[in-house]
């Protein structure tokens, strides 16, 4: 029998520090420790692990389809691997940050993961109308945008959302106050209890919230939600500034019309992107707000690292 034949397949469903929880194909969950000093394992990883007494050791991480992460000047924060969808949950109130929304969308585009935007608090009529109008350019880009009212717990909203999530592995992303925990608890009954059990297992009895957790929505284990921690900043330092326009669907079609192949779309003559930016004199297909997000991000990503 070869060494590989003694290894068991598994799915990483939670991680905390040097511990992670691996689920077997039969649905059993085992505490495992990555081999080596540095843990590269993230939730959503398919792994091969070896049992040792009542725990296990992760011997190999299978090749990932994608990895959704953010990176600032100091560190990289991985959210999850092997995703089909990133659900970006924002709210009509408090007012969401369009810069943060754009950063999450760009990170998803860079990894070729489909994003879906859900706007919560549709019961707040005027704030919702204002927020919905701000999202019109994103709908025109082809992004799915769904209205939600988690406070009213409307079945029609949940059914519509579940249609998009069916059979997929979805990372739920959003700022604090958007309703992420409410959404998880509505779609996954008992999620809070599960989180407590996982935290206790990974922290030897201490109740500490795990940073990222996998939940099955259905008994057949075909639809999954991954809850992620909230964040204040979303760094994109892993993206080359010259590739930024290619990750923005409203800018991308016009790059081919630039006179220069290495156009930054900031100041060059004959720029196909700048020609499409809306102004008082020109309707354009790129909103001025979106172009400012691009130019600010380009400057941020071009700054030398110290």
Q: 152 has which bridge partners?
A: none
Is position 107 annotated in a ligand binding site?
no
Is position 122 annotated in a ligand binding site?
yes
Q: How far apart are CA 107 and CA 119, in angstroms?
A: 19
Q: How far apart are CA 99 and CA 110, in angstroms?
A: 16
Answer whether 5's CB lies under 8 Å from 15's CB: no
Answer whether 197's CB lies under 8 Å from 178's CB: no
Is position 177 annotated in a ligand binding site?
yes
Is position 108 annotated in a ligand binding site?
no
Does 122 sit behind a cis peptide bond, omega within 30 degrees of 0 on the bond before it?
Answer: no
Is position 57 annotated in a ligand binding site?
no
DSSP string across 72-94: -SS-EEEEEES-SEEEEEEETTT
Is position 262 annotated in a ligand binding site?
no
Is position 254 annotated in a ligand binding site?
no
Per-residue tokens: 157 = 């909203």
Is position 2 annotated in a ligand binding site?
no
Is position 191 annotated in a ligand binding site?
no
Is position 247 annotated in a ligand binding site?
no
Is position 175 annotated in a ligand binding site?
yes
* Segments in the chain forming alpha helices (H): 98-110, 125-134, 136-140, 155-165, 180-187, 191-202, 288-302
Answer whether 170's CB lies under 8 Å from 80's CB: no
Is position 182 annotated in a ligand binding site?
yes
Looking up tokens 């394992």 gives 41
Q: How far apart are CA 222 and CA 216, in angstroms?
A: 7
Helices then strands, each counted (H, E), the chain:
7, 13
Per-residue tokens: 197 = 């059990």
Q: How far apart are CA 70 and CA 149, in angstroms?
A: 29
Is position 263 annotated in a ligand binding site?
yes
306 three-class SS: coil
Per-residue tokens: 108 = 């998803």
Bind-site residues for GTP: 120-123, 174-182
Bind-site residues for Zn(2+): 258, 263, 265, 271
Bind-site residues: 120-123, 174-182, 258, 263, 265, 271
């Amino acid at each position: 029998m070869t060494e590989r034949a003694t290894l068991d397949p598994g799915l990483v469903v939670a991680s905390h520090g040097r511990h992670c929880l691996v689920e077997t194909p039969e649905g059993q969950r085992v505490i495992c420790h990555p081999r080596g000093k540095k843990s590269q394992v993230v939730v959503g990883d398919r792994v091969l692990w070896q049992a040792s007494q009542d725990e296990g050791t992760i011997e190999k991480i299978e090749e990932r389809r994608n990895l959704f992460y953010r990176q600032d000047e100091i560190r990289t924060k991985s959210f999850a691997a092997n995703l089909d969808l990133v659900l970006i949950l924002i709210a009509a109130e408090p007012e969401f940050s369009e810069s943060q929304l754009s950063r999450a969308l760009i990170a998803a585009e860079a990894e070729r993961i489909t994003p879906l935007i859900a706007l919560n608090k549709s019961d707040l009529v005027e704030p919702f109308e204002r927020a919905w109008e701000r999202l019109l350019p994103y709908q025109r880009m082809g992004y799915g945008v769904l209205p939600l009212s988690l406070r009213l717990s409307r079945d029609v909203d949940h059914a519509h959302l579940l249609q998009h999530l069916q059979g997929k592995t979805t990372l739920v992303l959003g700022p604090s106050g958007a309703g992420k925990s409410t959404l998880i608890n509505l779609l996954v009954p008992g999620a809070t209890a599960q989180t407590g059990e996982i935290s206790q297992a990974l922290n030897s009895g201490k109740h500490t919230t795990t940073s990222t957790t996998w939940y099955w929505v259905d008994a057949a284990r075909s639809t999954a939600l991954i809850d992620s921690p909230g964040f204040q900043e979303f760094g994109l330092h892993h993206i080359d500034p010259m590739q930024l326009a290619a990750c923005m669907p409203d800018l991308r079609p016009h790059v081919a019309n630039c006179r220069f192949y290495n156009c930054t779309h900031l100041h060059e003559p004959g720029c196909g992107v700048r020609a499409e930016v809306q102004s008082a004199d020109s309707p354009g297909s790129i909103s001025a707000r979106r172009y400012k997000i691009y130019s600010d991000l380009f400057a941020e990503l071009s700054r030398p690292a110290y």
